[in-house]
Amino acid sequence: MYACAKLVSNPALVRSGVCLLSRPVSVPLLSYTGLRTEQLMSVPARGIQSSVTCRDIDTAAKFIGAGAATVGVAGSGAGIGTVFGSLIIGYARNPSLKQQLFSYAILGFALSEAMGLFCLMVAFLILFAM
């Protein structure tokens, strides 16, 4: 961006634009409206922390998060199906590798199931620990 701006405009204009972009948003707002920090601090804030609406939003967020976490369990089921499907195909192609293919299938099953259980654990943590 700086190289393009250097081609289009002079360096003084670019420097002033960078300084303008690096200022906090509240600085021009406070200077424009004429409000000072003391005036803003004296305005009473309406608390939503203890309201019924806030509790409803928190409950909805818990359920949405737990539902999103349980989607991983479906992925675990698909992974287990893929592992054992590949075991059957591999055994049909080369029956002499039965023991080695089965050990790899058990390893794949364990890894896939572990991820599914991890997703389920996260869902329960979201629901009951937060």
Question: Which residue, among 89, 15, 117, 97, has the nearest Cα to 6 in the 3D structure?
Answer: 15
Determine what percent of the chain is predicted with pLDDT higher than 90.
Answer: 53
3-state secondary structure of 72: helix
Q: Give the C-alpha separation, 121 to 80, whole Å.
A: 18
User: Which pLDDT value is given to residue 125?
Assistant: 94
pLDDT of residue 52: 83
Contact 127, 66 (CB under 8 A): yes
- Residue 53 has a pLDDT of 85
pLDDT digits (tens, 9 = 90+) for 60-98: 999 999 999 999 899 999 999 999 999 999 999 999 999
Domains present along the chain, CATH in parentheses: 2-42 (no CATH), 52-128 (1.20.20.10)
pLDDT value for 18: 47
| pTM, rounded to two decimals | 0.55
pLDDT at 27: 56
- Spans in the chain with pLDDT lower than 50: 1, 5, 14, 18
pLDDT at 46: 58
